[in-house]
Amino acid sequence: MKALIIGVSGQDGAYLARHLAGLGMGVWGTSRRPAAEARDSLDRLGVAPELVRLDPADPAAVRALLADLRPDQIYLLSAQSSVSVSFERPAETIASIVAPTVAVLEAMRTDLPAARLFHAGSSECFGTVDAPCGPNSPFFPPSPYAVAKAAATWTVTNYRQAYGLFAVTGILFNHESPLHAPRYVSRKIVITAARIAGGSGERLSLGNLDVARDWGWAPEIVVGMQRMLGMERPEDLVIATGHTATLRAYLDEAFSSFGLDWRDHVDASAGLVRPTDVTCSMADVRRTTEVLDWRAETAMPGIVRRLIEHEATGNLF
């Protein structure tokens, strides 16, 4: 069994490569980055997939790679993934998400119709919600990133229905790991709390402290991705824990672990609030649990503890 991960050098790609290799699969990965830079996260996890440099928005290059490699499974993870950056560069963000999706689907349709595709969707497509969202919940995308992800998700659905491809979207909620860059709020909070506990005297500025998210653990989330391509029939699913926590609760968990009260060290800054931020996301994982006989287990408190352990020991889990 041969797997191709388009976007292998990011958090999800690296953990997925390790998981697939552990199952005995042959793993190939693509990245836009030079080889040495692309291998950083992979080397840290001790995995060495065959690496190919690829612009996934180039249809000819994508088609040539798929025709040459002929993978059984394709994981499309490559994209500009920052919601805040999408407001600064909307056209670039939309192109980076939609164009590779179409390029891969077209290559499958014309040359590799038996392959199976996992497309990484996003809970941002749902917008702010007041009830848990499942795979059939309506989309109300509030950012250029979410608009692009919604378009890509519907494109995958269309190719599945119109051309009979095994192409599915896993609607991913927030998921964290030590491989996330320190600019991500999950790691920023833990890193700053550790420095403050060490006597730095600094203050942490954040945006809206009332946001609520379903935070998952990336090494578990990639298992859900792989299981989706083992389904008997293709369908889209939500991949999340089913547990939502507020940013205030995250702060409390992180700072209290160092014997601190976050209220003494954190400032809410209006300048860090996104123009149309998702204030609450909630996941309905019942269909996922039913179809995959699996669910992500590590929720917010466990995630904070593991990120703290990483800062102390370097453990990448």
Here the CATH number for the domain that contains residue 201 is 3.90.25.10
Residue 163: band (very low, low, confident or very high) from pLDDT cuts 50, 70, 90? very high
pLDDT digits (tens, 9 = 90+) for 17-52: 999 999 999 999 999 877 777 899 999 999 999 999
Same domain, 9 and 81: yes
Same domain, 252 and 286: yes
| Residue 124 a catalytic site member | yes
d(CA 42, CA 23): 17
Token readout for 125 is 């497509």
Token readout for 234 is 């293709």
**Nearest CA to 125 among 83, 167, 80?**
83
Catalytic residue among 122, 143, 177, 281: 122
Catalytic residue among 15, 145, 159, 250: 145
The residue ranges of DSSP E strands in 130-210, in sequence order, are 166-172, 175-176, 204-206
Q: Which pairing describes strands 245-246 and 212-213: parallel, antiparallel, or unpaired?
A: antiparallel
3-state secondary structure of 289: helix
Same domain, 61 and 209: no
Same domain, 115 and 135: yes
Its domain, for residue 109, covers 2-175+217-239
Element (H, E) at 108: helix 90-111
d(CA 92, CA 90): 6
What total number of domains does the chain contain? 2
Here the CATH number for the domain that contains residue 148 is 3.40.50.720
Work out the percent of the chain whose per-residue pLDDT is above 70: 100
Same domain, 249 and 149: no
Quote the crossing angle between the two packed helices 300-313 and 185-197, to the nearest 10°.
60
Same domain, 72 and 13: yes
Rounding to the nearest 10 degrees, give the CA dihedral for residues 30, 36, 42, 46: 130
Catalytic residue among 86, 124, 177, 253: 124
Same domain, 250 and 294: yes
pLDDT digits (tens, 9 = 90+) for 91-142: 999 999 999 999 999 999 999 999 999 999 999 999 999 999 999 999 999 9
d(CA 247, CA 203): 16
The mean per-residue pLDDT over the stretch 69-81 comes to 94
Can you tell me which residue has the tokens 């369908």?
Answer: 235
Same domain, 303 and 159: no
